[in-house]
Amino acid sequence: MWNKFSQHGTPQEYSRGRRGRRGQAMIEFALCFLLFMAVVFGFSQIAMAVWMKSTLHFAVREGVRFAITGRTLGGAGHDASIKQVIRSRAGGVLSQAQADSLVTIQYYDPSGAATAANSGGNTVVLSVNNYPVPILTGPALSWTGGAISVSARAVGRQEPYPNPPTR
């Protein structure tokens, strides 16, 4: 008569074989779980980079909207006011030091030549270059070995000012 012990002999030999399979299942689970967590952290890292790029792009668009008005904030210069607007619209991801070092402001006159100051009729180009996205997974699990960097840029053209702003 055939029973479940016929392959392994006695019930003790059968339970020994089952214990070995349970250990194998734990090892397989651990390996699959590590792979699953690496994928989850990878997707979260990509999502963080996309969110940072979107946030910075919104901030530079708001900076361009402010720049084309020709206004200044609280007695600061025009460029400092633009950087302050970008920093305030970035949702707290840009520090003052990062705003000073990563934000670039370029002005072009109507003929396309670069100019040092903003005036009516100019084109303004604002950008945040190479903003480092913090690594969520740690350097040991990073595929690139370093931080991901994102950049954002916005361009706006001013209409000539009818009267220069008094602020």
Residue 44, both tokens = 């979260």
Q: Output the pLDDT for position 13.
A: 62
Q: Output the pLDDT for position 166.
A: 47
Q: Output the pLDDT for position 56.
A: 95
Backbone φ and ψ for 144, nearest 5 degrees, come out as: -90, -15
Residue-wise pLDDT tens digits, 85-139? 999 999 888 989 998 999 999 999 888 899 887 777 889 999 999 998 877 655 5
- Report the pLDDT averaged over residues 43-60: 92
The answer to whether the CB of 130 falls within 8 A of the CB of 58 is no
Percentage of the chain lying above the pLDDT 90 cut? 34
Let me know if residue 139 belongs to a domain. yes
Let me know if residue 1 belongs to a domain. no
Instruction: Spell out a b/e string for 134-150, using b for 16 or more CB atoms within 10 Å of the CB, else e.
Output: ebeeeeeebeeeeebeb
Let me know if residue 164 belongs to a domain. no
pTM to 2 decimal places = 0.72
Let me know if residue 53 belongs to a domain. yes
Count the domains in the chain: 1
Let me know if residue 58 belongs to a domain. yes
Q: Output the pLDDT for position 164.
A: 53
Spatial distance between the Cα atoms of 51 and 148, rounded to a whole number of angstroms: 12
